[in-house]
Amino acid sequence: MKTIKISRTNFPTDSMFSWMNYFKWVLSKKYNVIVDAEDPDIVFYTNFHNEGGNFDYYTGGNNLKIDQYKDHVKRVFITGELFNEGSYRSIVNTPNHFALGFCDIDHPRYLKFPTYVLDTWVLYDESRIFDEPFSWLTREKNVDEIFAQYKKFCSVVQASDNADRGRLFDVLQKYKPIKSSGPWRPTVAEHEKPIKYPYLRREYFGRIDGLTYRSKIDFFKDCKFNIAFQYTNTPKLTQEKIIHAFAANTIPLFYGNVCITDDFNPDSFVNCHEFPSFEDVGEFVKSLDMNESKCKKMLAQPYFHNNKLPIYYNSDRIIEFFDRIIN
């Protein structure tokens, strides 16, 4: 079995371990994978927090800035944040640089790989909510059992302001109280809020994001609906919001990626893009809330078309792409 050495840079130095754990898990199916900050074959990098050159608790070493690595080192860019096709093309047209992204680009050094796959992986790797990485996404649901857990109407956890989310919040709040936490429009007492695990606490390293997500998902579980609004409507970019709502067995009220139904079953959530206004969304949500059979029918729906995981979850596809990088 061939040995490959991997590292990372530009990531938060004390968190997001799970993204690297995912690629280590996939590549270990074919390669002997070693994390090596000093002499890597492949460096993953992103555009999140720093420019490299810091001590990284995942690699256990001082990472260089991305342009400081030796010429033979392959650079693989990935992000779950807002990016654009032109920026991806600029990266993959640079020698020794590769990219994983959400855009549709035909290029030998690019692979379409939406990061909602990694958002799912975190719930297994760091949160320990599920015993297996992805099988829960296609598992048959006990709708009666789920429905019996609902005690409240709708939930949301959000830090930043968003005008569209605010409009739906106002519409729904006139109908029934919303269970809301976070700096943005909190409606619950401090002791009811999800736990936000602190950074720079060694005992949480490697699980910071996952523990915070687990607490947030627990906060959602007793609510029938969840306001799952992304901060951007960028086509093809799907973030963690809808995955977290599904993990809590609540119905997502989704707004964000206008192409969301390319991957996800439109009957399994409320797609706010399909309505003329947020007032119309509110009327539809009320109709669901007052009709148990209609609501249960939506809950019973598979998350993906024909209850099959999108191709992006296929690890063989990832390995094939990295074979090209390595060889």
Chain segment 72-87, per-residue pLDDT in tens:
999 999 998 878 899 9
Name the superfamily (CATH) of residues 129-307.
Answer: Glycosyl transferase family 10, C-terminal domain (3.40.50.11660)
Section 280-300 average pLDDT: 97
Work out the pLDDT band at 276, boundaries 50, 70, 90.
very high
Do 3-114+311-326 and 129-307 share a fold? yes
Instruction: Please determine, for residue 8, whether its predicted confidence score (pLDDT) is greater than 80.
Output: yes
Q: What percent of the chain has pLDDT over 70?
A: 99
What per-residue confidence (pLDDT) applies to 50?
A: 63
Q: Which of 235, 236, 254, 257 is nearest to 246 (CA)?
A: 254
Q: Which residue bears the tokens 């990098």?
A: 45
Cα angle 313, 254, 83; round to 5: 60
Contact 41, 58 (CB under 8 A): no
CATH pick for 3-114+311-326 out of 2.160.20.10, 2.20.28.10, 3.40.50.11650, 3.20.20.70? 3.40.50.11650
Start-to-end CA span in the chain (Å): 14
Section 274-282 average pLDDT: 98
Section 115-121 average pLDDT: 97
What number of other Cβ atoms are within 10 A of residue 196's Cβ? 15
Work out the pLDDT band at 54, boundaries 50, 70, 90.
confident
Rounded CA gap, 321 and 139, in Å?
28
Section 138-144 average pLDDT: 96
Burial 21-47 (b: 16+ CB within 10 A, else e): bbbbbbbeebbebebbbeebbbbbbbe
Identify residue 299 by its one-letter amino acid code.
L
Domain boundaries, the chain: 3-114+311-326, 129-307
What per-residue confidence (pLDDT) applies to 82?
A: 74
Contact 239, 119 (CB under 8 A): yes
Rounded CA gap, 13 and 299, in Å?
39
What number of other Cβ atoms are within 10 A of residue 327's Cβ? 6
Work out the pLDDT band at 143, boundaries 50, 70, 90.
very high
